[in-house]
């Protein structure tokens, strides 16, 4: 036979495009519509329905960026359409190729109730099925003119700079007959066409489908598509009814709509995107009882509860019926690299509790498809939250090393293992196309051991979620020869089956490092500082409010802390904290963090004043919020200020610069303002590598190939400018002030050596006005370190400093929290910081055979997309060099550097609520129990990486103690060993323990 394959394929393309798809709505009539352009921010329905509308016409422009226009659409079903299915078909100028990044609308009835949304791939509103003819109808469409910000530098990312030009044009507002037979024919042909094109040319199945399509088109009257659609479908039934191979891959299809809580739109627009998507979902469920939809992010459902209570009630009904499935167990799909220990735990606390209280559901699947890498602390937190499974897709974005598994056990810092799945379809917004499903089957890396994977389907980010077309595909692909078997089911059903069939899954130990988006550790420094500051202030507020509540009856601010925690957790979303959102988002975040800081400072001040007692005009009480004692003040306690007798710092001019000496360190700053020597006088060892200078500021060009705010590409290191010129180098108290200018920027640094301290503090103020540049601070350390140790949540991770394999080479930018340590047996050094996350570590061997290990902090970037003015302006960054440091020293100094003592007028010392007798055990939080019982909740962990036995002593009469999960529920398999007012602890490396302590009634 001749190969006429292309002839038939092209014939099908044209027939679908020009004849069959248009015939889905064979009869149409224009609708009357009017428009009201709302000034400013979105308004409630009641205000919109009473607004003055003006007549509209097809072709009208509407919508300045971020504006809202209300369309009042009125019509009557033609009498001769009786018995037909009738829809309104509306196109407000949607960009069909970019669902989720275009205009959207939410349709309301005149009484304000929600119908469904209109999106680029979902432009219909069902009027009746069937209609009687003559029905009148009216809809109010709340249309959002969200700009597309996907292509380079744009001023559209903030309403303040976006301008007033309209972005969209009304294309179609019709009432139309919906021909179901033609629509079904379209679905038949599209499924077979997509499957056929994925099959090998030598496959008999491919040619069987081709001939069936050919016969179907021969049976179709192109002048009367509706009348001949059934005949055309009959020709396809044999190939559509042929069952899948026995060994066909099994795909669990889960309806989903990944909605970024902020990204290329502000938070307020996400509130509306959630309403639009969920309205589509529940409407689709009415017609398709088999449809299952999974939604993560408790915050988004909480927005729905607040802003759309009637729609939220419908969601809860569908959840009770098992169709709408809460997943994820977190408040938002947060970044997991940068949130602090307690904040990452609270993501689970607030998310799980919301789903329990609102839906009665104990979510077991942690659903994080799009975050930018996954902390090694997560498996333990997943387990302690009461969850069992973990899902992500993002690691498929790796640019260097394909991840070797799709289903596996992920082992965390402490040894906890969680069954984990990466959908091999390599997308979290699938449309169930033949290409996607073929890729999932071919790509699946666990063949021979496992037979199933998961595919999340539905348009995300405001694209409207799953569509009726996707459900039609799923139905046809349930058991179809040549395709994987597709079953719509709940994520828990997939995970239970996948885990059961995989007898001995492979194990991945440690973090899931994303080989992409490394710039997110640094972009938008103010957002990152706001996050770190908020986390620390929340720690202090809970600690001192709980202490004051137990000691003096201070009213614990449950509601206020709850509200603030939710706001902080929201801003840890994976496009806010990473710095990859538009200017509007980060402008609002900065204002939110400032407000939070004021509120928490007020809580802290009130609690500390209540504890400090009456001030006699001369007394001062020193409060220590850090988890280790210092200067005679216990951790979590307060003492009357006393005069410290430390050796004063000697500061003298030296060789054109200055030398500082406090008896523990001797620091030499040369005439360039660079640190050329830091001698650890205790160990008798030089810290700075020979011939090098520490605290060397370096500037690199920074124009990644793609994803400006997200990425730094390895080639940035090929070009560097060392900032060695100084405008000012002078004494300032016990330190040295250095001022430099470069490009359009200015940096002022104060290098301080304090009495009794084994660290050099560096306070840096940068007035930053560079574009597409990367600012680093380099510390070349005279140490041979084959790995670095970086603090992460509830512990630390070690990463190789060498590049033996592509896996190590890919980690050229890494994340650390308060410290990054390098060392060799007997001696090491650490860099600690107050708000910097990005770091890099490199090593060179000198001519004498010794090794220089250079640690650099990533201070500032200046990407131009999606925020053209990222990080422009003044920043204050604090960091310190800690020579002679062990891991324990780095842990302790990292906390103390971030939590300076507070001094309050008063006369009363304050005993800690709890004390721990082991330095390796770090208490991350002390608070009152969330249920208002008055119990004291303490969360702690082993921080050095070894086994430890310790004793926790309660500073109050103890009636009882229990070990709980993160949600403060007793763990049946764990019990607290209580003796009097103390609890014995035995912890494995990096183990997290939450204790619930019940005070005695007569305490």
**Is-contact 285 279, C-beta < 8 A?**
no
**Is-contact 784 853, C-beta < 8 A?**
yes
Rounded to whole angstroms, the Cα distance separating 645 from 248 reads 77
Rounded to whole angstroms, the Cα distance separating 251 from 259 reads 23
Q: Which alpha helices (DSSP H) does 690-759 contain, by range?
A: none
Rounded to whole angstroms, the Cα distance separating 714 from 704 reads 9
Q: Given the DSSP bridges, would you call strands 32-38 and 54-55 parallel, antiparallel or unpaired?
A: antiparallel
Integer CA distances (angstroms), 475 to 183, 457, 803, 823, in order: 14, 14, 49, 59
Rounded to whole angstroms, the Cα distance separating 633 from 904 reads 14
Smallest Cα–Cα separation from 150: which of 108, 97, 223?
A: 97
Beta-bridged to residue 878, according to DSSP, are 763
Q: What is the 3-state secondary structure (H, E, C) of 317-354?
A: HHHHCCCEEECCCCCCCECCCCCCHHHHHHHHHHHHHH
Rounded to whole angstroms, the Cα distance separating 860 from 871 reads 7
Rounded to whole angstroms, the Cα distance separating 933 from 559 reads 14
Residue carrying the six token digits 């309104």: 88
Rounded to whole angstroms, the Cα distance separating 530 from 488 reads 42
Q: Spot the catalytic one: 158, 260, 335, 370.
A: 370
Rounded to whole angstroms, the Cα distance separating 503 from 852 reads 46
Q: Is 370 a catalytic residue?
A: yes
Interhelix angle 298-307/309-320, rounded to 10 degrees, is 130
Tally Cβ neighbours within 10 Å of residue 935: 21
Rounded to whole angstroms, the Cα distance separating 923 from 993 reads 10
**Is-contact 307 275, C-beta < 8 A?**
yes
The DSSP 8-state label assigned to residue 533 in this structure reads H
Chain centroid to CA 789: how far?
A: 24
**Is-contact 580 263, C-beta < 8 A?**
yes
Rounded to whole angstroms, the Cα distance separating 371 from 352 reads 19
Beta-bridged to residue 911, according to DSSP, are none
Rounded to whole angstroms, the Cα distance separating 985 from 979 reads 11
Q: Which helix (H) or strand (E) holds 443?
A: helix 434-443
**Is-contact 445 424, C-beta < 8 A?**
yes
Three-class SS state of 586: helix
Report the alpha-carbon angle 747-751-752, nearest 5. 150
What is the DSSP track for 786-842? SEEEEEETTEEEEEESS-SSHHHHT-SSEE-SSEEEEEETTEEEEEEESS--EEEEE
Three-class SS state of 110: coil
Q: Which alpha helices (DSSP H) does 870-924 contain, by range?
A: 887-898
Cα end-to-end span (Å), the chain? 94
Rounded to whole angstroms, the Cα distance separating 683 from 583 reads 49
Tally Cβ neighbours within 10 Å of residue 873: 11
Beta-bridged to residue 883, according to DSSP, are 829
Rounded to whole angstroms, the Cα distance separating 488 from 473 reads 11
Tokens of 626: 């850090």
Q: Which residues are identified as catalytic?
A: 370
């Amino acid at each position: 036979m001749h190969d006429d394959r292309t002839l038939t394929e092209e014939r099908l393309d044209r027939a679908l495009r020009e004849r069959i798809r248009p015939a889905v709505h064979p009869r149409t009539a224009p609708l009357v519509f009017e428009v009201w352009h709302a000034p400013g921010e979105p308004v409630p329905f009641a205000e919109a329905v009473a607004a003055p509308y003006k007549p509209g016409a097809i072709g009208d422009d509407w919508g300045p960026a971020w504006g809202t226009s209300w369309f009042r659409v009125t019509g009557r079903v033609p009498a001769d359409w009786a018995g037909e299915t009738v829809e309104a078909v509306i196109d407000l100028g949607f960009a069909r190729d970019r669902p989720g990044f275009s205009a959207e609308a939410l349709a309301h009835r005149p009484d304000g109730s929600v119908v469904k949304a209109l999106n680029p791939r979902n432009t219909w509103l069902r009027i009746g099925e069937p209609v009687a003819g003559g029905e009148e109808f009216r809809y109010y469409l709340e249309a959002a003119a969200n700009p597309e910000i996907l292509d380079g530098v744009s001023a559209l990312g903030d309403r303040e700079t976006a301008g007033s030009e309209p972005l969209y044009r009304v294309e179609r507002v019709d009432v139309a007959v919906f021909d179901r037979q033609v629509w079904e024919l379209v679905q038949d042909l599209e499924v077979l066409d997509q499957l056929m094109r994925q099959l090998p040319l030598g496959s008999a199945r491919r040619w069987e489908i081709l001939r069936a399509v050919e016969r179907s088109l021969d049976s179709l009257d192109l002048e009367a598509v509706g009348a001949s659609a059934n005949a055309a479908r009959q020709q396809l039934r044999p190939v559509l009814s042929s069952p899948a191979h026995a060994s066909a891959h099994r795909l669990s299809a889960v309806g989903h709509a990944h909605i970024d809580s902020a990204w290329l739109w502000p938070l307020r627009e996400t509130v509306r995107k959630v309403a639009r998507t969920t309205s589509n979902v529940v409407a689709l469920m009415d017609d398709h009882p088999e449809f299952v939809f999974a939604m993560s992010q408790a915050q988004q459902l909480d927005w729905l509860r607040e802003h759309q209570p009637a729609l939220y009630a419908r969601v809860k009904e569908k959840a009770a019926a098992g169709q709408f499935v809460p997943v994820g167990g977190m408040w938002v799909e947060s970044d997991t690299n940068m949130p602090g220990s307690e904040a990452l735990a609270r993501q689970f606390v607030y998310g799980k509790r919301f789903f329990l209280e609102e839906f009665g559901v104990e979510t077991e699947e942690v659903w994080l498809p799009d975050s930018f890498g996954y902390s090694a602390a997560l498996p333990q937190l997943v387990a302690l939250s009461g969850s069992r499974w973990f899902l992500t897709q993002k690691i498929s974005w790796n640019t260097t090393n394909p991840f070797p598994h799709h289903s596996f056990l992920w082992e965390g810092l402490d040894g906890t293992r969680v069954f984990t799945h990466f959908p091999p379809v390599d997308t979290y917004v699938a449309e169930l196309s033949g290409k996607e499903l073929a890729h999932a089957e071919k790509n699946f890396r666990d063949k021979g051991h496992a037979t199933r994977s998961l595919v999340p389907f539905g348009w995300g980010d405001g694209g409207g979620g799953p569509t009726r077309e996707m459900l039609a595909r799923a139905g046809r692909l349930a058991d179809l020869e040549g395709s994987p078997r597709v079953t719509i089911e709940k994520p828990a059903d997939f995970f239970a089956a996948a885990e059961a069939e995989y007898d001995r899954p492979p194990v991945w130990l440690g973090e899931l490092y994303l080989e992409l988006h490394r710039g997110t550790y640094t972009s938008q420094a103010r957002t990152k500082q706001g996050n770190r500051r908020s986390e620390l202030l929340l720690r202090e507020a809970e600690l001192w409010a709980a202490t004051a509540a137990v000691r003096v009856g201070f009213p614990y601010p449950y509601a206020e802390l709850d509200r603030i925690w939710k706001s902080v957790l929201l801003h840890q979303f994976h496009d806010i904290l990473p710095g990859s959102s538009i200017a509007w988002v980060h402008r609002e975040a900065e204002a939110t963090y400032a407000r939070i800081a004021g509120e928490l400072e007020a809580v802290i001040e009130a609690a500390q004043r209540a504890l400090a007692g009456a001030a006699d005009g001369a007394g001062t009480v020193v409060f220590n919020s850090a988890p280790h004692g210092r200067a005679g003040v216990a951790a979590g306690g307060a003492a009357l200020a006393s005069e410290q007798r430390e050796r004063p710092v000697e500061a003298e001019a030296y060789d054109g610069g200055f030398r500082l000496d406090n008896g523990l360190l001797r620091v030499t700053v040369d005439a360039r303002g660079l640190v050329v020597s830091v001698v650890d006088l205790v160990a008798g060892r030089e810290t700075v590598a020979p011939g090098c200078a520490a605290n060397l500021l370096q500037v690199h060009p920074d124009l990644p190939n793609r994803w400006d705010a997200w990425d730094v590409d390895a080639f940035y290191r090929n070009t560097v400018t060392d900032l060695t010129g100084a405008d000012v180098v002078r004494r300032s108290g016990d330190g040295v002030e250095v001022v430099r200018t470069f490009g359009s920027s200015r940096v002022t640094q104060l290098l301080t050596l304090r009495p009794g301290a084994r660290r050099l503090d560096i306070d840096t103020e940068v007035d930053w006005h560079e574009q597409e540049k990367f600012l680093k601070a380099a510390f070349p350390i005279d140490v041979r370190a084959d790995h670095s140790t970086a603090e992460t949540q509830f512990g630390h991770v070690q990463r190789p400093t060498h590049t033996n394999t592509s896996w190590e080479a890919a980690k050229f930018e890494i994340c650390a929290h308060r410290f990054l340590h390098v060392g060799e047996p007997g001696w090491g050094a650490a860099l600690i910081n107050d708000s910097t996350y990005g770091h890099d570590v490199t090593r060179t061997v000198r001519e004498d055979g010794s090794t220089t290990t250079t640690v650099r902090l990533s201070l500032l970037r200046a990407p131009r997309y999606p925020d053209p003015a990222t990080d422009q302006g003044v920043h204050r960054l604090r960091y310190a060099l800690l020579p002679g440091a062990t891991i324990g020293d780095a842990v302790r100094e990292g906390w103390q550097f971030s939590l300076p003592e507070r001094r309050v007028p008063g006369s009363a010392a304050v005993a800690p609520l709890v004390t721990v007798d082991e330095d390796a055990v770090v208490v991350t939080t002390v608070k009152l129990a969330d249920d208002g019982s008055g119990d004291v909740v303490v969360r702690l962990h082993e921080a050095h990486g070894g086994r430890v036995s310790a004793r926790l002593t309660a500073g109050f009469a103890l009636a009882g103690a229990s070990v709980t999960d993160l949600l403060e529920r007793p763990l049946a398999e764990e019990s607290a060993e209580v003796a009097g007012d103390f609890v014995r602890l035995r912890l494995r490396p990096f183990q997290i323990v939450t204790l619930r302590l019940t005070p005695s009634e007569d305490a």
